[in-house]
Structure 1
Amino acid sequence: MHGPASPGWLLVALCAATGAYCLLRMRSGVEEQRGAAGGEALMGFGMAAMAVPAVVFSPPGWVWPAYAVVFGAAGLRALWAARSARHHLHHAVGAAAMVYMAMVMAAAPAHGHAHGASGTPVLTGALLLYFTGYVLLTGVRLIPVVAVAGGGAGADGRAAAGWGDRPELARACRLTMAIAMLAMLLPL
């Protein structure tokens, strides 16, 4: 999380851009897309805020418990939504990882955000394994499949989905945040 300035700013930019795209996806006509995009936007902006280099801004002590509460609530909401859509389980794991990182940062000595913070090695390792697997699996799913020749309609004759409803863009959004989560978990 709060490591060297250059990679930290790249992580902030990546997460903020992903959060902004997810906000745009909330305009979708599909209710499930809107709900998932809202949770992903919260995650993207929360990760961007958490990744701001410590040399620029060291948040006061109350921020970390506030992160834990916000992402704990987001995790509970994701668990509730997982009853109808399986990908919400990933959101719950992501929110749990954010709660974990916030708790580690709250316990870290002041200004020791990058190298003084130490989480539970087993939990950190489990989260690293989960997100590595998620990145690899999602990356494989993004490999393009040969498209069926046709006009503007899909293979089944329906009209092509709008850019906010395209599943590969939502998958790319989740992949980006999973890669960023790996980068944030590594210093723990």
Structure 2
Amino acid sequence: MHGPPLVAWLLVALSTVAAVACLLRREARDEAVMAAGMAVMAVPMSVLDPRPWGTPLFAVVLGVVFALAGVRALLLVRRPGHHLHHSVCSAAMVYMAVAMGGATSAHGGHAEHMAATGAGTPLLTGLLLLYFAGYVLRSGTSLVALPAQAHGAPGGGPLISTGQAEGGAGGDRDRVPLRHAPEVAAACRVAMALGMFAMLLTL
């Protein structure tokens, strides 16, 4: 990532936490891979660029990995899940990898020059920024509404189990583990979309 080191390391931490949270949810392996890739891409170039060819090679590897991830997401788009969103995320990662590798190669491996002049196509970068900003706003609003629905808010209907409502022993058996809670899954997706938005701003 070509930006302030503090911002880069904060993105690394955010993406790593999201990757671990998704990894604990076995049904979210695709999201875990995406978050792990974001964590690696967010690492400052001063750490990953010991030689002039280091950044282009790094960009090629990431580009290939996420191109394959995007194709897989498109093939699964008709199945339940967030595969269409995953395909957009994969395309954004490929775009950033290509922009990073191409701009660094064109300027002799100087990442600082890329940070000063920018990289990528402004129109495409702007469209992706709009997409992820909209996704964060829409999903964030839904995330805020989930706890209210879980407690039987008007219009949401009670989601609490019978055993929990009665306070019996069945409540513990019916309780959904935290890592499988819908709030956790939604929070991970919002966190990754925020990270993607911040990384796109550095182009």
TM-score range, shorter chain: 0.7 to 0.9
Which is greater in Rg? 2
The correspondence of residues 90-105 of structure 1 with structure 2, limited to 5 A, is 90-105=85-100
Which whole-Å CA distance do the structure 2 matches of 1:86 and 1:14 have between them? 23
Which whole-Å CA distance do the structure 2 matches of 1:142 and 1:81 have between them? 25
CA contact (8 A) 1:104 1:117 kept: no
Which whole-Å CA distance do the structure 2 matches of 1:162 and 1:91 have between them? 24
Deviations 1:45-75 (A, max 9, x none): 1111101112222244211111111000001
Structure 2 counterpart of 1:71, from 61, 66, 69? 66
The percentage of counterpart residues that share the same residue type is: 50
Structure 2 counterpart of 1:85, from 80, 88, 91? 80
Displacement of 1:85: 2.1
User: What secondary structure sits across from 2:33 in the alignment?
Assistant: helix
Match of 2:43 in 1: 52
CA contact (8 A) 2:19 2:36 kept: yes
Runs of at least 4 residues of structure 1 off by over 4 A?
Answer: none
CA contact (8 A) 2:99 2:119 kept: yes
Match of 1:184 in 2: 199
TM-score (normalizing by structure 1): 0.86
Between the two structures, name the one with larger relative contact order (CA 8 Å, sep ≥ 6).
1
Match of 1:121 in 2: 122
Displacement of 1:93: 0.3
RMSD, aligned α-carbons: 1.9
Distance 1:41 1:115, change over 3 A: farther
TM-score (normalizing by structure 2): 0.80
Which whole-Å CA distance do the structure 2 matches of 1:41 and 1:152 have between them? 31
* Residue ranges of structure 2 left out of the alignment (5+ in a row): 153-159, 166-170
CA contact (8 A) 2:163 2:174 kept: no
Deviations 1:107-160 (A, max 9, x none): 11213253344111111011000000000001100113150376536xxx9923
Which letter maps to 1:45? A
Displacement of 1:97: 0.2
